Every structure is written in C-alpha cells, then in structure tokens.
Structure 1
Amino acid sequence: MDRDGKLPASVRESPRLDEFARRRREFRTDRYRPDYHFVPPGGLLHDPNGACYWNGRYHLFYQFWPPDVSTDRSWSEAMHWGHAVSEDLVHWRDLPVALSPEDGPEDGCYSGQALVEDDRVLVMYFGTEAGNCVAAADDEYLTDFERSADNPVVPIDEEAPYEVFDPCLWREGDTYHSLSGWKRDGRTSEFHFSSTDLSEWEYRGTLVKDGFHTDPEEDGAVPNFFELDGSHVLLFFSHDRGPQYYVGDYHGGTDFDIRSHGRLNSGPVDHGNLHAPSVLHAEDRSVAFFNVVEGRRDWRADPGEGWAGVVSLPRALSLDGDDLRVEPVEELTALRTNHRRVDDRPLAADEEWVVPDIGGASLELRAEVDVGDAAEVGLSVLRSPDGDEATSVTYWADADALGIELGRSSENPAARSRPPEVGSLSLADDERLDLRVFVDRSIVEVFANGRRTLTTRVYPARDDSVGLSLSARRGAAHLESLDVWDMESIWS
C-alpha cells in the first residue's frame, strides 16, 4: 500500500484479493457485521497472530478458514494465516493469505507470534501434527514468507518433558528464545527453548509452571513475553478462562520471578467472550489484539457462505504498579463524528432515564457518574424503546463489581443464552464511575476507570434497538456527564 492507500501491483494481482473485496461488499449490510472492528472478508477468523510493526505499517495476521477452503476439512487442517495491513491502527486493508498449510510439513497453521529484526520479520507458529515452525519475510508488505527448510524446528515429541504448542519468539543478543505454551501435570506451563540459528533448539526448562494463580488444568496457550515499563509481562490465554497475565522480573533463562497475576476475561470464553492475544511493539509502546468469538449457535456452519469472528479494538498496554493497564488506542478518536453531550443530571432511585434523541448501533460513549448512595448504577445500550431488548453495563457498589448483563440482549433465537460478564472494580472515596463504552453492532467493549475491561458479543434482533438509558437502584446517583459519538466505518 502506497502512502496514498494503493497496494502495489505485485500484491493487487493476487486473485484472492478480488474475492475478498467482493465478499466485503456482499456482507456490508449484515446487521451484525461491525463498522469499526476488524472482521474477516469472509470465512472464519480466530486467534490474531504475529501482530507487528514493519516498514512504517502495522500488520495483523490471524487464524483464518478462507471461504474457498473446503468445509470437508477439519478445523486443524483448514487453518491458514490471514493478513491485513494498516497505516494508522484503525483502517485496515486485506492482503493475500500469509501462510498456507499446503506449503509446509504441517496440516494446518495455528497460532504464533512475530519478531521484528532490522532486516526481516520472523514468525514462529504451531503447525498441526508437526510442531513449532519458523518462517521469515523481508519484503515491503510481508507477503512473501519463506519457511525454514528445517521445519518443524521444535517437533512434537510425545516422550519429551515438554509440550509443543502455540509459541512466541524473542531475541537476547545472538540467541533466540521461544516459549511453547500449554500445560503439564495439570498446571499452566510455559516451556522455554533457545537457539543460535533458528534451526537447532535446546530445551531449557519451564519459565512458568503455575498451579497457584491459575485453576487446575488451565493451559498457557498463545504466550506473548515482553518487557514493559521496566518489568516483564507474560500475556497468555487459557482455553478455560481466557486471557490473563503475569508481571514479574526476568533474569534470563528460566528465571522469571512472578510478582502479580491478573485476568482480562470475566466470563466463560466458550460463550463468546475475549479470546487469544497478540501484541505488537512499535514506537515505544505495546498494543494488544484479541479475538472475540461468536456467540451464535450457527457460527461455524459454513465458512464458504458466511463470515464469523471479530478482532477487539487495539488496546494500549502499560503498567500501574504490578497491574496491567489496558486502554483503547488514541487513534480511535479519529473515527468520532456527530458529538452529543448531556451534563449534570440526577438519577433518581429506582428509575430508568431513557436518553432522548441519542442512540445508534455504532457508537462510542463516555459516561462519568457519581454513584452516590445507589446500590446499583446501570447504563443500557442497544435498547429497544420498550426496553424488551437491551444490553446493560451495571456497577454493583456493595459488591465492588462491574458487569455486562446479557439476559435481554437479544430476541434472536440463534443467540446463545450466556451468563453475564462480571469483574471486580472498587472505587475509592469520591471516585466517579468512569465508563468508556464502544458499541459496534454485535460487539460491546467496556473500559472502566482505567482498571477494568469487559467484552462480549450481542445480537439484537430489532431494528429499533439503538437507544440508551441510565438508571440507579436502591439509592440515587448523579450523571456528571455523558458524551456520545457516532463512529465512522473503517471500510471503504
């Protein structure tokens, strides 16, 4: 893509790109297809992979079941790496498929991460039925990855003292390091390997083997290990409980002293909440992407005919002491339009105030609320005029908790019945509840007081489910301010 947005001819000539563009046009009227979140052109999207910053552009790879790949294949055989590029972390352009299992020893291309060097980008990923594999690219748009002739460089070995699965990759001096994330003896484990040539890898032991912070049988898939604000962060994904992190001190080898642990998912992942991470490092900052899988019963029905899967908004990472702080990137403000504001309004006890003449299906909201003596404060989005459909963001003062209630989110029978997303949030004396909420047709992302994030998929069935309301229960609260913006589409 030139700086004016045009892809070079060598990339544009890929026959799949025309098909991707056709499908994006075909699906643009789908009521559940987001306007400003990244979604696949068609087919199925799963874990984001190998996010990186190269040659002045942001690259996002992702597990992809392309729409032209037969549904006769199993999931492990169908996975490719899809690829998109952006100049600004907001607007994305499809690129040709980056990795295809037909080109290597693996049955399918599962998750992995990228390492950006001065003259090339390396990716390390799990090849199903083979092991962890390496590929490299040095062209302008990372459209020409060359696999190592030694793949799988860390083969599956049932007799080994480690497990081979989703890897990450980093470098210390002349030595490459990798973590292979899974579990061992019922405990979350990260298996550490090193190499001087990317071909021969030595097993070093476990960087993490945790049965204290994590539940029994939780795995440590899709690891991202990196330095942040003077500490080291290990961001990973458990198939049972979703994304989480360790913060600690890394002294090299397998010497990682954990100081804290936290969870970024507040609900069961198999019901459609936050999923696997991929972190890029650019211009002295770290930005994470997650996928938010479908909450519809039919989402895997036919990759050739439909689409499924959404990538979360890019989230800037920082540390507040030993806590990982996660916030939407500043670039998203460029999508704001049609600003509306409400100031200084009381919220009477046990009453719901429907915000007049403000609403929409693709919005950003910023609400600051003095909780007062209310036991509960609620903000409802995607609300029908009669209130029969609504998704509610609720703060429970007595429980120091924030949640997304989904009981009235959809009258669509294909939408799964799911428990609420609930996470802890304790407000200090005189601290206001500060909610930043992104609504994008079928996804809601909540960022609260810089300390709590909640994410879920929703499927309102009614065309008039676009309203907003606020409420207080068992006590009164006060709305200090409410800012609402429509959000422009990122697709041309």
Structure 2
Amino acid sequence: MVDRKCTAADRDCPGYHLVPTSGWMGDPNGIIFHDGRYHVFYQHNPNDMWLGNPAWDRMDNVPWGPAANPNVPKGLWGLHCGDVCWGHAVSEDLVNWQHWPIAISATPGGYDAGGCFSGCTVINDGVPTIVYTSTTRTPAAGIRTLRAQSIATSDDGMVTWQKHPSNPVLADVPDLSGAIHAWHDPHVWQEEDGWYMALGCGCPNVAGVILLYHSADLLNWQYMHPLYVSGAIEKSGDRWLVPDFFKLGDKHVLLFCTGTPDAACFTGYAVGDYVDHCFIPEVEGVLGPGSAPSAMAARTLLDDQGRRIVFCQLGDERGDVNQRQAPRTGVLSLPWELSLLDDLTLGVQPVDEVCSKHQPDWQFENVTLAPGKTWRADSVAGDMLELVAEINVGQADEVALGVRCSNDGREQTLIVYNRLEQKLSVDPSHSSTDEGSCEESCGSVLKLAGNEPLRLHVFVDRSTVEGFANGRACVFHRIRPLLEDSVNVELVARGGEAEVTTLNAWRKEAVKITGLDN
C-alpha cells in the first residue's frame, strides 16, 4: 500500500492522485476500460526515481538535457533508460486504485532490452493485447539504438502478459525523403477492414508527423501515408509523439505530444473529419496549458458510460537530485472528461467521481474584491482541497485565486484569469521559497461571453494544482511550498472590482492505493 502520510522525505507526494508504489512514474499508456475496470498502464522505473538507470548516468557523467551538456549529440538525450517498463494500476471508481504486477519489462539481450516504451491496449477477439515500442541497446555504450513496435497478450484477465514470438511486429522505418527520428508510441484502433496504427515521429524539413499503418492481424503491418503533418500550432517542436485518435461526437480528434528533447512539451490536438483513412483537420488547439514543462502525454479511454476520459503526466519539477532523495516521483493527472464544443474546440472538466458530493466544509457568498486588496477565505486551510468559485469579473483586468498561500505572502500559487488577454493561467512565481523551483507561468485560452461569470474548479493536492474553468479550459502545475503555513486560500482582483458570488471549499482525504495482494 502507498503510504500517503506527508513526511519530511516525501512531503510532496500527492494524497488523492495516482502515484507509483515506488520509483518513477512517467507517461500514461495503454489505458483502457474493460470488464468493469479502468486499467491505467504507465511508463515506470521501479528501481530509480528517474527515467534512467543511475549507474549509467554516473558512468557517462551526463546531466539531463542538452543545455547542461551541449557536447552530447542531439538525439541521445533520454536514451539511458535502463529499467523502463509498464506499470499497471486498476480501479473500479476512478478514485481508489490497486497496483497490479508490472505488465511488461525489458528482456535482457532481446529486442526490447533498451526498455518497453509507450503504446496502447486493445481487445483483439476478446484477447487483451498491448502494442508498445520496444528498443534494443548497443552493448558497448548501453544506449538505445533501434526502435520497433511489439505486442504482448494476456489470458488471465490482464494480470500477467506474454510477449508474442513474432516480435518485433513492425521494424521497418518508412522512407520519407530523409531519416526520420523518434519513430514510436503506437496507437491502434479497429475498423471493418482490420487494424490501424498511428505512430509518432519527426521528419526532416517537415517536423512533426503522425504516420498511418494498416494490419489485418496486428502482426503484419503496411505503411499507408501520413495521417497528419505539422499544422498551424506554434512551437510544436521537431517531433510529434504519443498520438491518440478517436471519434468524439460526429468528428474525429487527434491528440499528440509536441516538443523537442530540450524544450517544454504540451498536448496539441486537431479536430476534423476522417474519410477513406484520411484525416482532414478543421480546428487545431492545445489541451491545457500551452507551455507547461509538466504537461505531457495525454491518453484517453472510452468507458461504459460513453465518456472519453483522459489522463496525462503531470511531471516533476524537483530536478534530478531532489527526485532521487524521494521514495517515489511522478504523478498522473486526475481523470478528465473531454467534450466537443460548438466551435469544434475541446471542452474539459474533471470526471464526476473525483468531485466532492457532500456539503462544503466552508461556504462564502457575495464577497466584493476591491482592486489590489487581497481577501483571505477565513478558516479555509489545507494542502489537500477542492475549491469551486463563481466570480463576476466585471471591469477587473484580472482576478486570481491563490492556493498554498503562506501567512506572510512569501509563498502562493495563483490561478489567474486575465480578462484583457482572455487567458486562464497558473502563476507559480512565488509558489516556493526554494530558488530551484519552476517559476514558468503557463496558460490556456478562455474567452468569456458577455456577462458570463468565471466558474473555477480547483484541486489542490500538496504539490499538485489542477484548475478548470467553465468546462472549456484547464491548467495544472507541480509546486513545492516549503513553509509550514502555506495552506491558506486567497482571492484578489486587479485593475478593477470583481464579485465572488460563491466560494465553496472541501477538505480532501488521501485515497487508497494498494498492491494486488493487500
């Protein structure tokens, strides 16, 4: 069982988010609803608090990221990934989780000796099947050199998995007028004439590309054509990764993680029509904040209620040394529900299961926010809270809801709505007195119509902040407050007066995360 008590060694561990029992948690992958259970697989290193094996890191003396060591050739970053495998957590209610045995892990000396990386899970004639990126390793250097796609199946209800003897099932990189890179992260779905795979990569002179493949049996794959090529999204990097393709309403949606090895990643999306195996995008956008260093790898599932539910990795901004001193590192977002709005952008809100249903622990009504005057929600205190506020922004330039605020104001994390910029953002510039904490602000477009009030729904879970607004925007960030009294909630308006119609607050409790034998 995961001990959720806040200790000096693990004061940042979230209490009601999904975390690993130990080691490192990365991208969600292969998430699926099957036989009444939500299965969340995730990139996992059970032996270290970091993506790579510490012995390799010390041996090579290579800090993470090319900015730290520009002499390492581009393309080798993140390749020292020792023990990366698929962790596996299961839930019946999206709240309480049970960790099952590791699903797949590297076979020494084999086609996946360099690690088992992101992919998906499908049901093939009743047989649960994982499709994942397998990597080999150059023995002399210990570096991953070849990516391929492989599969594994389960015959005992997804508890244990067996790799297919034909692996890898896809190893030939297509010729796209130049050497492509980052050829991985398969997403597979079934149509009447067989199986289709979207595969992320980067292509010289083109940048991000999602490739499309076809197979009749999941074993023999033929390359078809690019499903989608870099569009109008700015700063989308030189590769697109972890694609997810699905129908939502009467349109199709493609999610993808953008970025470069030394730049922030974010989840982009395109909405459009899918006709004759060609995707015709109509609208492009960003799911969540467009520049958060912790926004990565959104993956979705369709449950028995017809909901399209998404998880993403919230990352960890503590850095290598601080992460390795912790019992565990990494956390997944709360489950969110996606919707298709009238303008074909994506709506997002927390699933109903994670929202408090009982009477609020604190309630406030009709609070006037004078310009520049901070109002503190009397007696509301905690590092695990749920907050729901309705605010008439009026003529204020911006309004901000502060969480994890210290008594002296030295620490605070602000969820800010800027009326002039029509933007919802997280401002972590004073979230911690630790000079090494991440101070990069991140935001999401939010256009309020006419006199539409700002409706905020915020979850605070120790080091994790997730905020949703009006069913149309979300922001999130990892923070590291150090002061013991950084537990207060505050609101402020700037450039004009605003009115808090209601503010409801709930204490949140740590949820159960157990092992299969607990």
- The TM-score normalised by the length of structure 1 is 0.89
2:405 is the alignment partner of 1:386: no
Identify the match of residue 134 of structure 1 among 127, 136, 151.
151
Give the aligned partner of residue 507 of structure 2. Answer: 486
Identify the match of residue 331 of structure 1 among 353, 357, 367.
353
2:157 is the alignment partner of 1:157: no
Give the conservation status (yes or no) of the 8 Å contact 1:337–1:486. Answer: no
Q: Secondary structure at the match of 1:78?
A: coil
CA deviations over 1:392-420 (Å, ceiling 9, x no partner): 1111112212211111100124423x221
Q: Counterparts of 2:42 and 2:273 in 1: how far apart (Å)?
A: 30
Q: 1:450 Cα deviation (Å)?
A: 1.0
Q: 1:391 Cα deviation (Å)?
A: 0.4
The count of residues paired between Structure 1 and Structure 2 equals 464
CA deviations over 1:22-81 (Å, ceiling 9, x no partner): xx3387532211011111111111100100111111111000011279532564332100
Q: Which runs of structure 2 are paired with 1:312-391 in the superposition (5 Å)?
A: 312-321=333-342, 322-333=344-355, 339-391=361-413
2:46 is the alignment partner of 1:66: yes
Q: Counterparts of 2:172 and 2:267 in 1: how far apart (Å)?
A: 25
Give the aligned partner of residue 3 of structure 2. Answer: 25
Letter in structure 2 aligned against 1:105:
Y
Gaps of 5+ in 1: 1-20
Q: Counterparts of 2:119 and 2:322 in 1: how far apart (Å)?
A: 22
Identify the match of residue 244 of structure 2 among 216, 224, 240.
224
2:190 is the alignment partner of 1:171: yes
Q: Counterparts of 1:292 and 1:443 in 2: how far apart (Å)?
A: 8
Q: Counterparts of 1:439 and 1:335 in 2: how far apart (Å)?
A: 17
Give the conservation status (yes or no) of the 8 Å contact 2:25–2:43. Answer: yes
Q: Counterparts of 1:26 and 1:324 in 2: how far apart (Å)?
A: 33
2:199 is the alignment partner of 1:180: yes
2:65 is the alignment partner of 1:80: no
Q: Which runs of structure 2 are paired with 1:469-484 in the superposition (5 Å)?
A: 469-484=490-505
Give the aligned partner of residue 3 of structure 1. Answer: none
CA deviations over 1:342-364 (Å, ceiling 9, x no partner): 01111112211111111211011
Identify the match of residue 274 of structure 1 among 295, 300, 309.
295
Q: Secondary structure at the match of 1:410?
A: coil
Identify the match of residue 102 of structure 2 among 88, 94, 97.
97
Q: 1:160 Cα deviation (Å)?
A: 6.2
2:286 is the alignment partner of 1:263: yes
Deviates more, 1:129-138 or 1:30-39: 129-138
Give the conservation status (yes or no) of the 8 Å contact 2:150–2:167. Answer: yes
Flag the 1:487–1:323 CA change in 2: closer, same or farther, 3 A: same
2:270 is the alignment partner of 1:246: yes
Q: Secondary structure at the match of 1:298?
A: helix
Give the aligned partner of residue 315 of structure 2. Answer: 293
Give the aligned partner of residue 209 of structure 2. Answer: 189
Flag the 1:299–1:165 CA change in 2: closer, same or farther, 3 A: farther
Give the conservation status (yes or no) of the 8 Å contact 2:463–2:480. Answer: yes
Q: 1:365 Cα deviation (Å)?
A: 0.3
Letter in structure 2 aligned against 1:207:
L
Give the conservation status (yes or no) of the 8 Å contact 1:218–1:241. Answer: no
Give the aligned partner of residue 466 of structure 2. Answer: 445
Give the aligned partner of residue 328 of structure 2. Answer: 307
Q: Secondary structure at the match of 1:331?
A: helix
CA deviations over 1:169-199 (Å, ceiling 9, x no partner): 0111241110111221332211111111211
Give the aligned partner of residue 18 of structure 1. Answer: none
Q: Secondary structure at the match of 1:25?
A: coil
2:117 is the alignment partner of 1:110: yes
Q: Counterparts of 1:120 and 1:396 in 2: how far apart (Å)?
A: 50
Q: 1:97 Cα deviation (Å)?
A: 0.5
Q: Secondary structure at the match of 1:102?
A: coil
- The TM-score normalised by the length of structure 2 is 0.85
Identical amino acids, percent of aligned pairs: 34
Letter in structure 2 aligned against 1:396:
N
Q: Counterparts of 1:434 and 1:260 in 2: how far apart (Å)?
A: 25
Letter in structure 2 aligned against 1:146:
Q
Q: 1:317 Cα deviation (Å)?
A: 1.1
Gaps of 5+ in 2: 57-78, 136-145, 514-518
Give the conservation status (yes or no) of the 8 Å contact 1:339–1:486. Answer: yes
2:154 is the alignment partner of 1:147: no
Flag the 1:384–1:203 CA change in 2: closer, same or farther, 3 A: same
Flag the 1:137–1:252 CA change in 2: closer, same or farther, 3 A: farther
Flag the 1:70–1:323 CA change in 2: closer, same or farther, 3 A: closer
Give the conservation status (yes or no) of the 8 Å contact 2:44–2:86. Answer: yes
Q: What's the C-alpha RMSD, in Å, of the aligned pairs?
A: 2.2
